[in-house]
């Protein structure tokens, strides 16, 4: 059915206006010779037509006599025809304070005329709406340009140019940035990774409250490596009850003989910090057909170890400058120059090293102030994500595995000793990063390595390393603060900038979420086969309006009949529907014989009414309650 039945037209008469229009589709953006023809959003003002059918109470079919009079549903439209609906002076747009890529407003878009380009003689005017500059070619000038009208009318050709929308600065985006999107998608893929029973047939189905175990490193490696004297392996796993994902560190063949160490586990579990991987629980299991100890941690998908990131021979072009080629013995000075040259060409940027130092000292500070020690500050036990966030990944393991809970040992002195070791380990780690070599921290390479740091980096960095490596004095992580100094502010500033970027991306998705809710409502109504035993429910009454609106938003065509797709048009229409603005649009029946002039406010009422009817009889509204 293409037009509403007569009996229904009465029920609309209070809300609907009949528009007189040409037989051609109202919403076809195209080149036309007449000033009066246009896409419905860009017709001339209603007030310019004295007998405007906008106030006509009944609906009627068009006839050819209507050809001369065009309906102007938008009283505030700019004097443009055949342009994208992007250019629309609705209050929604003009009131929008922010325009950067927000779906509320397509920022920095301008109307570009091909003719304008080819013929500089054709004048144009511009208008600033809510911070966005729109450029129009003269066709019907705005009120404030009346004085130029005579001149313009004589010089302008009657035909209007075709317009296209493009952005001045950057393509405005309604969605989050590609980088962020890919990053999140990648993490989602990794999180949802499923175990392959053929590849890992020996993996248990369940380990305590966890299932779906996926090894995080190749099985061949895990079989050969030692972990504090024990073999260890890492798995991603899913909690059976909550479905949350965790990381399981399994210590193979470990028998817990003394449960006193569990006091440390409790302390670690309480420790929460942005630079540590939080320990969730520790238990023993025989699920792997041995006595295994399992440490459950938060799972941070996509993380890699610091070793892998900066010291891996797998990296293109990486080679450890301290590795001697013993086949060709050379004088020491030659080797040292070689190392220096290599380090100069491959060194990590100093701000990056300070960034790491700030994060690591921040983690150590919280650990040490809680009377604990890291004891695993090693490039293999620090993970890093794509945004350079470092996390200590193996906390608590040493305290349990080494089981030094003998009552004769002074626990406080022991912790303090380990804290000093943490600081030495930090010094070695920074030295290794500065030389891009794990071998730089070996006793025989240390003086060369420090020399390299002095030549390649600031004195501050060298002083920090020297302080951390000076084992004869008692050191404290808080003493590092003055050495870091103003770099803290830089770090803070970078973080705030990053938060602002994420905030902006989030605000775009917030708008998209809102539009998705409107589309969900529309979709539940449009084309519904039947409702309340009424097979024509979706085609009659309020729903008919919504059907025509759906066509207006999504099914516009060019003059040639091809699809006319414009995201700005879709977003603007849905936004206006969401707000229920008084602006009117012309909805054309599919047989193009009739046009309804209706305001967004009325359409919103139709939508709420129809959706309310559906929701009132729905048995299950899960997730849709707050639409």
Q: Could you tell me which residues are annotated as the binding site?
A: 249, 298-305, 380-381
**Dist. CA 381–CA 395, nearest whole Å:** 9
> Using H for helix, E for strand and C for coil, what is the string for 494-561?
HHHHHHHHHHHHHHHHHHHHHHHHHHHHHHHHCCCCCECCECCHHHCHHHHHHHHHHHHHHCCECCCC
130 or 302, CB closer to ligand ATP? 302
Under DSSP, is residue 132 helix (H, G, I), strand (E, B) or coil? strand
Residues flagged as binding site for ATP: 249, 298-305, 380-381
Nearest in space to 627 (alpha carbons), one of 503, 525, 549, 505 = 525
295 or 354, CB closer to ligand ATP? 295
What is the nearest approach in angstroms of ligand ATP to the Cβ of residue 318?
Answer: 16
Give the DSSP letter string of 265-284: HHHHHH---TTBPPEEEEEE
What is the nearest approach in angstroms of ligand ATP to the Cβ of residue 97?
Answer: 41
224 or 626, CB closer to ligand ATP? 224
**Dist. CA 26–CA 37, nearest whole Å:** 8
E strand or H helix at 223 = helix 219-224
The answer to whether residues 340 and 453 touch, using CB atoms and an 8 Å cutoff, is no
Q: Where does 371-486 have alpha helices with state H?
A: 397-401, 411-435, 446-456, 459-469, 481-484
218 or 616, CB closer to ligand ATP? 218
Residues that bind ligand ATP (CB under 6 A): 216-217, 225, 227, 232, 234, 247, 277, 297-300, 303-305, 307, 380-381, 383, 393-394
Nearest in space to 123 (alpha carbons), one of 106, 142, 109 = 142
227 or 547, CB closer to ligand ATP? 227
- CA distances from residue 117 to 114, 136, 160, 585 in whole angstroms, order as listed: 5, 12, 14, 31
How many CB atoms within 10 Å of residue 264?
23
């Amino acid at each position: 059915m293409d037009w509403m039945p007569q009996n229904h037209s009465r029920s609309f008469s209070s809300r609907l206006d009949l528009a007189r229009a040409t037989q051609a589709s109202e919403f076809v953006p195209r080149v036309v010779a007449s000033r009066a023809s246009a896409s419905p959003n860009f017709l001339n003002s209603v007030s310019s037509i004295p007998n405007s059918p906008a106030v006509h109470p009944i609906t009627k079919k068009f006839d050819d006599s209507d050809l001369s009079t065009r309906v102007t549903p938008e009283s505030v439209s700019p004097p443009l025809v055949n342009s994208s609906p992007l250019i629309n002076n609705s209050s929604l747009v003009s009131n929008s304070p922010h325009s950067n890529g927000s779906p509320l407003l397509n920022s920095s878009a301008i109307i570009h005329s091909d003719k304008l380009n080819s013929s500089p003689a054709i004048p144009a005017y511009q208008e600033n709406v809510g911070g966005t500059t729109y450029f129009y070619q003269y066709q019907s000038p705005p009120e404030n340009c009346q004085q130029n009208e005579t001149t313009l009318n004589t010089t302008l050709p009657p035909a209007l140019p075709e317009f296209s929308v493009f952005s001045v600065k950057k393509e405005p985006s309604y969605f989050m940035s590609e980088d962020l999107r890919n990053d999140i998608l990648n993490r989602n893929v990794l999180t949802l990774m499923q175990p392959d029973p053929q590849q890992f047939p020996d993996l248990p189905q369940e380990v305590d409250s966890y299932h779906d175990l996926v090894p995080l490193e190749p099985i061949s490696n895990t079989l050969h490596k030692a972990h504090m004297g024990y073999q260890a392996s890492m798995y991603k796993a899913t909690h059976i009850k909550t479905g949350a994902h965790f990381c399981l560190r399994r210590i193979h063949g470990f028998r817990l003989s003394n449960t006193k160490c569990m006091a440390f586990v409790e302390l670690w579990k309480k420790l929460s910090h942005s630079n540590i991987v939080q320990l969730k629980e520790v238990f023993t299991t025989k699920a792997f057909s041995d006595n295994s100890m399992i440490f459950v941690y938060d799972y941070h998908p996509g993380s890699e170890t610091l070793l892998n990131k900066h010291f891996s021979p797998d990296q293109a072009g990486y080679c450890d400058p301290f590795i001697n080629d013993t086949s060709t013995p050379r004088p020491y000075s030659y080797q040292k120059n070689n190392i220096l040259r290599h380090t100069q060409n491959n060194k990590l940027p100093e701000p990056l090293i300070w960034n790491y130092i700030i994060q690591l000292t921040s983690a150590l500070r919280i650990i040490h102030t809680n009377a604990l020690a890291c004891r695993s500050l090693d490039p293999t036990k620090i993970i890093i994500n794509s945004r350079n966030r470092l996390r200590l990944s193996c906390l608590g393991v040493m305290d349990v595995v080494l089981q030094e809970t003998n009552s004769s040992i002074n626990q406080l002195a022991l912790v303090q000793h380990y804290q000093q070791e943490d600081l030495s380990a930090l010094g070695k780690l920074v030295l290794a990063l500065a030389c891009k070599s794990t071998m730089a921290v070996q006793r025989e390479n240390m003086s060369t390595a420090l020399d390299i740091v002095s030549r390649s980096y600031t004195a501050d960095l060298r002083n920090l390393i020297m302080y951390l490596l000076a084992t004869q004095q008692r050191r404290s992580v808080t003493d590092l603060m003055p050495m870091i100094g103003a770099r803290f502010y830089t770090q803070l500033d970078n973080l705030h900038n990053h938060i602002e970027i994420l905030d902006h991306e989030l605000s775009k998705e917030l708008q998209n979420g809102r539009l998705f809710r409107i589309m969900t409502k529309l979709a539940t109504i449009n084309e519904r086969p039947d409702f309340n035993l009424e097979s024509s429910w979706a085609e009659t009454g309020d729903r008919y309006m919504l059907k025509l609106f759906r066509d207006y938003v999504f099914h516009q065509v060019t003059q040639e009949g091809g699809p006319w797709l414009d995201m700005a048009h879709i977003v603007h229409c849905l936004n206006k529907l969401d707000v229920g603005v008084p602006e009117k649009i012309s909805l054309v029946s599919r047989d193009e014989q009739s046009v309804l002039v209706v305001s967004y406010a009325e359409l919103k009422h139709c939508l709420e009414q129809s959706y309310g009817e559906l929701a009132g009889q729905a048995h299950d509204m899960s997730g849709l309650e707050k639409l």
